[in-house]
Amino acid sequence: MLPSEIISKVPASYENGLASGSLFFFPSDNYIVQDTETGLNLEIRLCSALQHKPKLDTPHFEPSAQPQSKVDPFVPPYDPGLFVGDLTSEDGEQYVVLLNKFSVVPRHFLLVTKEFKSQTSPLMPDDLLQAYALLVAGRKTGKNMFAFYNCGDLSGASQPHKHLQFIEVDEDGPPVEVLARSVSLESQGKPFTIGALTYANHVFRFPSNLPYSSIDKREQILANAFLSLLDLVLSTVRHDPTYPTGPPSYNVILTLEHLHLIPRRLETHTLEETGEILSVNSLGFCRNAAGQERT
Ligand code: AMP
């Protein structure tokens, strides 16, 4: 299926998944809170149904080729109630699109590598290209979405099989995107940092014609952007002894306009008031962009 076909199939597949009982939707309350430091409107979603969910151990990701003993939910046979389609690209059908089985946001879907690849591995040019193609296809049908990737032990990921995730947002995109857009750049094509944020972050602004560029051009720009940001993540981690040693963990946020990489030093944030421990993934940096966590 082409990216446009996948995108047009998602809403009906989602309704079908719900109706067939394959997919669970957890209603949540959404609060908009203004952050005093940045002035940014943060979106905080409270999902009481998930509050008492037993905490699954964070998988210890092995970069080795094989998944661990736990059942991998991202291998065939796919649950027909979660399956959207195989994504067709230049290289054949390397990816499958599945709905998130446990949705807090409607139509949350995943782009999964068909062959097992580790969630500790960096995004490859084709991962970025296919993810971007889905965002472009979404925009053509009036949907604003962004993609995210939780990479490594401390990134808040729960599945070791490589998957990017997609969520619909309003026109402004995730709050952190509003901040990224507000940064004026002296020279285009170079990574920058959103100084207003309280945590290390590395961002790349794409040329405005990227959604209309040829596949080759797009791939080159996306891959170079990712590599330049990954370099900065590695140097942030290496030059700061408060980051743990070993393979770096980081979160990735991809929009049509920007790529964001956020190095992680802690997987969780402990709420001061209650002592509750929250696992924080990429969404913590999109919606709750100025949280107190020291990443
Ligand atoms: P992460 O926690 O970042 O690794 O993302 C894993 C995603 O997969 C989460 O959004 C989960 O809700 C979702 N998920 C877990 N099990 C399944 C499954 N069997 N089918 C589809 N999605 C799943």
pLDDT at res. 113: 97
If you average pLDDT over residues 79-87, what whole number do you get?
A: 97
pLDDT at res. 59: 54
pLDDT at res. 104: 92
Residue 174 CA to ligand 1 center (angstroms) comes to 21
pLDDT at res. 284: 84
**DSSP characters over the chain:** --HHHHHHHHHHHHHHHHHHTSSEE---EEEEEE-TTT-PEEEEEE-HHHHTPPPPPPP----SSS--SS--TTSSSPPTTTEEEEEEETTEEEEEEEE-SEESSTT-EEEEESS--BTTSPPPHHHHHHHHHHHHHHHHTT-EEEEEEEESTTTT----B-EEEEEEE-TT-SHHHHHHHHPPPSSTTS-B--TTSSS--EEEEPPTTGGGS-HHHHHHHHHHHHHHHHHHHHHHHHH-TTSPSSS-EEEEEE-SSEEEEEEES-SEEE-TTT--EEE--HHHHHTSTT-S---
Is the pLDDT at 293 greater than 60? The verdict is: no
pLDDT at res. 48: 73
If you average pLDDT over residues 279-295, what whole number do you get?
A: 62
**What is the pTM (predicted TM-score) of this model?**
0.91
Domain chopping of the chain, boundaries: 3-286
Residue 186 CA to ligand 1 center (angstroms) comes to 40
Residue 89 CA to ligand 1 center (angstroms) comes to 24
Residue-wise pLDDT for 216-269, tens only, equals 999 999 999 999 999 999 999 999 999 999 899 999 999 999 999 999 998 998
Q: 291: pLDDT confidence band, cut at 50, 70 and 90?
A: very low
13 vs 279, residue with greater confidence: 13
| Domain 3-286 sits in CATH 3.30.428.70 | yes
Asked if residue 159 has its Cβ within 6 Å of ligand 1, the reply is yes
Is the pLDDT at 294 greater than 80? The verdict is: no
Residue-wise pLDDT for 8-63, tens only, equals 999 999 999 999 999 999 988 888 888 777 777 777 878 777 765 555 555 555 55
